[in-house]
């Protein structure tokens, strides 16, 4: 057999070496040489309020996760989330991605990169449900929609059956009738069982959300994200304010002189009353289901869509949401966007939604069956979701609370209370 020359031996060794090196690079076995990481493995950090155990398992176990990027997740408490985030950004210790609650998207938007150069408005509108388009403001896309928590109607099956009410109310006039049937009073006219919990501020869990729902269904955006102005009068902003209409209907249920009377400050918090079977219908967020179930495992209850305005052209519910934003102080904005885009893909959003009890924001998967009738309803309602950008959620809650209290106490007429609330909202955004 003819022996190899020195040149052939060197060439063979070179080819084997190159082949081995290529294998190590593309397999990721050599840190710092992964091609999709730009020559190195980039570490990014994500902050949010979701449990670390759930988030980590989703991000680490997904085979489609972008290569060249490693991720750590930091769980922050909801009560201190904003303070910790703002302080960290100011000190230069910035995360790369923030899972941002809806209450902070507008208030803190100056601290985040615009995503307009990464996703077009058309791509945004085609990809995510209608109600999330409020994240598009003039010359900026604040964040990418992630998860949705819609307002739904919790109802007690036994109390409905006792009054021979065959189904949940589809419209507000049906809601009023059902509430009257299921409301019970003693001989002195005191409430002992309630059909519906509306009309007060002190023991209703979501008064701002319910009033927002009523105004949004009427056609008011509350805050117009296109013009960055408060608008409680609909598309033209020249007609009568819908705040007074919403407040008047809300207060009907706490007026003891009316047939609609079903709720008073003497009751416990509405979610507690519902769990005790003293309340037939409760407006709550979809994410509350497990908590209510744990309060009373024997409670025979379900969720349904919120009532709509009869003959209205548009069906709507109110919804909270979470969005993905990139801080301006991120040291890895390009990799952050790559990973953020991965987090909004179908399979990842589905995993997050099912493990959090929420709904995905991406249109393409909201029609899927989840295997759970509760999740199916939450997902379906999220398609109808509407919301509004709050300048300061504590202040807006106080404004809505003052409207209710001043009208309920009689200190102001409903019209004056609504007008004062609108003025305060306008002042807040100036």
The residues, any chain, with a CB within 8 Å of residue 97's CB and separated by 6 or more, are 44, 45, 46, 47, 324, 325, 326, 330, 336, 339, 340, 343
Full pLDDT tens readout for the chain, 430 residues? 445 455 444 445 544 443 443 333 333 333 333 444 445 889 999 999 999 988 888 887 777 888 899 999 999 999 999 999 999 999 989 999 999 999 999 999 999 999 999 999 999 999 999 999 999 999 899 999 999 999 999 999 999 999 999 999 999 999 999 999 999 999 999 999 999 999 999 999 999 999 999 999 999 999 999 999 999 987 666 667 899 999 999 999 999 999 999 999 999 999 999 999 999 999 999 999 999 999 999 999 999 999 999 999 889 999 999 999 999 999 999 999 999 999 999 999 999 999 999 999 999 999 899 999 999 999 999 999 999 999 999 999 999 999 999 999 999 999 999 999 999 999 999 8
**C-alpha dist (Å) from residue 360 to 114, 240, 285, 290, 430:** 22, 35, 15, 18, 33
Say how far apart CA 297 and CA 289 lie, in whole Å.
11
* Contact status, residue 209 vs residue 318, Cβ threshold 8 Å: yes
For the chain, domains (ranges, CATH) are 37-149+320-380 (3.40.190.10), 150-319+387-429 (3.40.190.10)
* Contact status, residue 340 vs residue 347, Cβ threshold 8 Å: no
For the stretch 352-374, pLDDT in tens is 999 999 999 999 999 899 999 99
* Contact status, residue 141 vs residue 323, Cβ threshold 8 Å: no
The residues, any chain, with a CB within 8 Å of residue 301's CB and separated by 6 or more, are 154, 155, 156, 157, 274, 292
For the stretch 294-344, pLDDT in tens is 999 999 999 999 999 999 988 999 999 999 999 999 999 999 999 999 999
Collapsing DSSP to helix, strand or coil, 255 comes out as coil
**C-alpha dist (Å) from residue 262 to 191, 256, 281, 292, 299:** 7, 8, 11, 21, 21
H/E element, 191: strand 191-196
Global pTM reads 0.88
Block residue for tokens 């994410």: 287
Q: What are phi and psi of 37, to 5 degrees?
A: -100, 15
Question: If you ran DSSP here, which 8-state letter would residue 46 be given?
Answer: E
């Amino acid at each position: 057999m003819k022996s190899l020359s020195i040149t052939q031996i060197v060439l063979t060794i070179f080819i084997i070496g190159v082949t081995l090196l290529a294998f190590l690079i593309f397999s990721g076995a050599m840190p710092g040489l992964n091609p999709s990481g730009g020559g190195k493995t980039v570490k990014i950090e994500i902050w949010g309020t979701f449990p670390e155990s759930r988030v980590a398992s989703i991000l680490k176990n997904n085979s489609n996760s972008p290569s060249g990027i490693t991720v750590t997740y930091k769980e922050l408490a909801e009560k201190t989330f904003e303070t910790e985030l703002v302080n960290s950004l100011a000190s230069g210790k910035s995360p790369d991605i923030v899972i941002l609650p809806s209450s902070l998207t507008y208030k803190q938007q100056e601290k985040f990169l615009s995503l307009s150069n990464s996703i077009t408005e058309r791509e945004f509108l085609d990809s995510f449900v209608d109600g999330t388009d409020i994240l598009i403001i003039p010359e900026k896309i604040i964040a990418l929609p992630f998860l949705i928590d819609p307002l739904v109607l919790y109802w007690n099956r036994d109390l409905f059956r006792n009054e021979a009410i065959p189904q949940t109310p589809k419209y507000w006039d049906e809601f009023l009738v059902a509430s009257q049937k299921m409301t019970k009073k003693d001989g002195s006219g005191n409430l002992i069982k309630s059909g519906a919990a509306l009309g007060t501020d002190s023991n209703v869990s979501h008064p701002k959300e319910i009033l927002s729902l009523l105004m949004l269904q009427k056609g008011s955006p509350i805050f117009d994200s296109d013009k960055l102005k408060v608008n409680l009068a609909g598309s033209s902003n020249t007609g009568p304010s819908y705040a007074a209409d919403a407040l008047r209907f809300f207060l009907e249920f706490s007026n003891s002189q009316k047939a609609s009377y079903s709720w008073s400050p003497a009751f416990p918090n509405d979610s507690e009353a519902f769990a005790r079977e003293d309340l037939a219908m409760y407006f709550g967020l979809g994410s509350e289901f497990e908590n209510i179930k744990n309060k009373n495992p024997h409670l025979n209850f379900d969720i349904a869509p919120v009532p709509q305005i009869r003959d209205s052209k548009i069906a709507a519910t109110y919804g909270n949401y979470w969005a993905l934003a990139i801080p301006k102080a991120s040291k890895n904005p390009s990799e952050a966007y790559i990973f953020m885009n991965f987090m909004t893909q179908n399979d990842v959003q589905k995993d997050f939604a099912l493990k959090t009890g929420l709904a995905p924001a991406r249109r393409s998967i909201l029609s899927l069956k989840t295997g759970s009738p509760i999740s199916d309803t939450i997902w379906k309602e999220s398609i109808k979701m509407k919301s509004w950008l709050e300048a300061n959620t504590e202040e807006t809650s106080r404004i809505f609370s003052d409207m209710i209290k001043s009208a309920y106490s009689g200190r102001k007429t409903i019209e004056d209370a609504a007008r004062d609330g609108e003025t305060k909202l306008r002042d807040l955004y100036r």
